[in-house]
Amino acid sequence: MRSVLRAGKLISFDPAQGLGFIAPCGGEEHVPFQTEAVRFVDVVAEGQLVIYAIERADAAVRAVEVRPA
C-alpha cells in the first residue's frame, strides 16, 4: 500500500548495489530505496532533495517513486 508523497534528503546511495537511504524532512527513521524506484532522472546524488512515496509490506517500509524535489 502506497502513501501520499513525502519530502526528504538523500543521505546515501550506492549505485553498485542499487540501494540508498532517504532522511525524511519530518525527522522520522531513514527510508531505504532501490535504483528501480528513481523516476524522471538517470542519476541521483547524496544531499539531493527528493520527493517519494512509502510502500509498506509486512513490517518493512521502502521508498518508491523517488524523484527530484
Model-level pTM? 0.87
- Assess contact for 46 and 63: CB atoms under 8 A: no
Is residue 1 over pLDDT 60? no
Mean local confidence (pLDDT), 57-65: 87
Cell 550506492 locates to 14
What digits encode the pLDDT tens for the residues 4-43?
Answer: 899 999 999 998 999 999 999 988 899 999 999 998 887 7
Domain 6-68 has CATH 2.40.50.140: yes
Average pLDDT (34-57) is 90
A 10 A CB-CB count for 24 gives: 16
**Dist CA 45 CA 58 (whole Å):** 29
Percent of the chain past pLDDT 70, that is, above it, reads 96
